[in-house]
Every structure is written in C-alpha cells, then in structure tokens.
Amino acid sequence: MTGTKELYNRLCAEVGKLVVGQEQSIRLMTAALLAEGHVLLEDVPGTGKTTLAKAMAKGFDARFTRVQATPDLLPQDLLGGLVYQPHTGEFTLRKGPIFTQFLLFDEINRATPRTASALLEAMAEGQISLDGLSEKLEEPFFVIATQNPLESQGVFPLPEAQLDRFLLKVRLGYPSLEQESQILHRFRSAVTPETPQAVITPEMLRQCRLECRQVRIAQEVEDYLLRVVRSTREDKRFLFGASPRAGLALLAVAQALASLDGRDYVTPDDVKEAVIPVFAHRIQLMPEFRAREFTEEQVLAGLLAEIPVPTELAAQSV
C-alpha cells in the first residue's frame, strides 16, 4: 500500500500549487476516485470548488472536460447524438462532452432534471444509451459535480435517487486565517502560480484501485460499521436511514482511506472519517428536526459519539 500513499502525497503536492488548504477535501476526492465513485462538491460561491476540481484533474494524466450547467442545457448537449452522413448513407455518433475521463459538471442544480438524469446511467454503469445504442465510456470515468446550496431561484434540487449516485458529498468550508492570508499573498504576487503536473497515469490508478480492493477489514470493525449503518435506520430523528448501498459505499471509502494511509487493513477511524461524507446526502431528517435547524451532519456526529468503538488491535486481527 506504500505505492498508493506515495502517489497520493505527490498528488497533494501538485494540487497544492493551485489550491491553498483543503487537504481533507483532496483526501476525500482521491478516496472516491480509488473507490470508483463520484463526488458532489457543495458550498457557497467563491470557496474554490471549480478551482479544486480543475487542479485535481491536472494531477492525473487524463482528459478533462468542464460543462457549465444552465436551464437550457439539453441531454444531447451532454451526450452527443447521431449525425447523418450523406456520402455513406449512415448515421455516425457525434460524441458529446461526457466522453471524457474527468468530467466537471459545474452547478449541477441549475440543469433541468431531464438533463441531470442523463448523467445517471453514465455514473452508475460507465456507459450511455443514445437512440437505442449503448456506448461505453473510457476508464477511468470520474464525475465531479458542484452546487451552491444557497440558490433558490432558477435551480432544480437533485432528487434522492440522483444524490445516491454520488459516493461522497464534500463541503469545502471557509479557509483559516493563515490560509486566507496565503490566498491574498498569491493574488497580490506578480508571479503566475505553477500549473500542477500530471503525476498519476490511468494505469497507475488501476493498480491503486486493485490494491484498495485488497484492504482487509476485521470482523470487529465490520460489526462496528454495520452498527453505524443500522443506527441511522433506528434513530427517530431520521425520515429514512442509510440503505444497504450506502453501507457498501461506506466500506469502499473506508478501504480507500486506509490505502491512502499506506495500510492494508481498515481501522474504526477510517469508518468514522467516512460516515458523514458518505451518509449526509443519503439520509433525511424529520421535518420537525429540520425546522429546529438540525443538520444531518450534526445528528450523524452525535450518533458516532454514542456507538462503542473497537480497539486498534482488533482492527489488525483479520
């Protein structure tokens, strides 16, 4: 697992050329990529969502495409379409921007549900269906979608079924005082920031993913993970809890986090670190608790504090 850890450290160094701070966001996005999932970045405007997505893409030797979502964006604008060729009398596929490896779908909640749902099959199956034809997408295929939670005009909230397709939802948050000082210094400086260099090829990523799948989980840690999943279903504050697919996502992200740390086994801390990014967009509070300004993240943090945690020694005894 040391190979994965070394590549991750190199990636962080490259992304850091453009992005100040956000180490945890970079860690979670890399874990999602290892776990073959997709990421939803959510926060207020100006916190660096698009910059972070672009910097992450530059760290990988992969094709990158950005799509700016608008209410008039049509599914064929994303997928492409069949074009008639008069000289051959046949239809050929004109590939849309979805035929890439890193897709940044900016402000996804500005796209209509019909257009946003065009991403569903691609995210779940790695292929698209167009006029009765199925077309595979190139590996790796990684979607980074951004949304602004404050907008209420001209936006279309993502339905639960589509939110569930995102392995993680990551909130960037505001920078610390020291980090914001660094940002201001870079802005004032006449020196152009360095461009991140690609340090991970698709073949390297495939190897890292294989290593990630081999990360072990002890029975005690697996039982802990299941207790966390089931606690969300039994807590009366939730309208509905985490699904079995959410439990599988939690395991996959915990394995990826362990791999990034150079370990071949999952610890309870890996599970705890993954719970809020994996579950917060997949569960929903009862209306009365939402009216009292509770959030899913706050309630999940409280649940984690109540569940007994196995020891580190138990995590290694596979």
Domain count, the chain: 2
Q: Is residue 128 part of a domain?
A: yes
Helix (H, G, I), strand (E, B) or coil at 63: coil
**In whole angstroms, what is the distance from residue 200 CA to residue 92 CA?**
33
Same domain assignment for residues 140 and 221:
no
Same domain assignment for residues 63 and 134:
yes
Same domain assignment for residues 50 and 175:
yes
Q: Is residue 48 part of a domain?
A: yes
Same domain assignment for residues 40 and 147:
yes
Same domain assignment for residues 251 and 182:
no
Which of 190-194, 216-220, 229-233 has the lowest average pLDDT? Answer: 190-194
**What does the pLDDT average to over 18-25?**
88
E-only strand ranges, 86-234: 90-95, 102-106, 127-130, 133-136, 142-147, 168-171
Residue 110 DSSP code: G
**What does the pLDDT average to over 107-133?**
82
**How far, in Å, are 42, 64, 224, 304 from residue 16 at the CA level?**
20, 19, 35, 31
Q: Is residue 199 part of a domain?
A: no
* Banded model confidence at residue 258, pLDDT cuts 50, 70, 90: very high
Q: Is residue 209 part of a domain?
A: no
Residue 124 has a pLDDT of 83
Domain closes at, from 188, 223, 247: 188
* Banded model confidence at residue 313, pLDDT cuts 50, 70, 90: low
Same domain assignment for residues 6 and 135:
yes
Q: What is the CATH number of the domain that holds 22?
A: 3.40.50.300
Residue 250 DSSP code: H
Sign of the alpha-carbon torsion through 282, 288, 293, 294: negative
Q: Is residue 137 part of a domain?
A: yes
Domain closes at, from 172, 188, 204: 188
Residue 247: pLDDT over 90: yes
Enter the tokens of residue 120.
């569903």
- Is the backbone peptide bond immediately before 308 cis, with ω within 30 degrees of 0? no
∠ CA 164-213-252 to the nearest 5 degrees? 25
**In whole angstroms, what is the distance from residue 2 CA to residue 91 CA?**
49
Residue 154 has a pLDDT of 67
Q: Is residue 109 part of a domain?
A: yes
Q: Is residue 173 part of a domain?
A: yes
List pLDDT tens digits, range 286-308: 888 877 878 888 889 999 999 98
Q: What is the CATH number of the domain that holds 231?
A: 1.10.8.80
∠ CA 71-144-76 to the nearest 5 degrees? 40
Tell me the percentage of the chain whose pLDDT exceeds 70: 95
Residue 158 has a pLDDT of 83
Q: Which domain holds residue 249?
A: 215-316
Q: Which residues contact 104 (CB under 8 A, 6 or more apart)?
A: 50, 53, 54, 57, 64, 65, 66, 67, 144, 145, 146
Q: Is residue 193 part of a domain?
A: no
Domain closes at, from 188, 204, 231: 188
Residue 216 has a pLDDT of 93
Same domain assignment for residues 219 and 110:
no
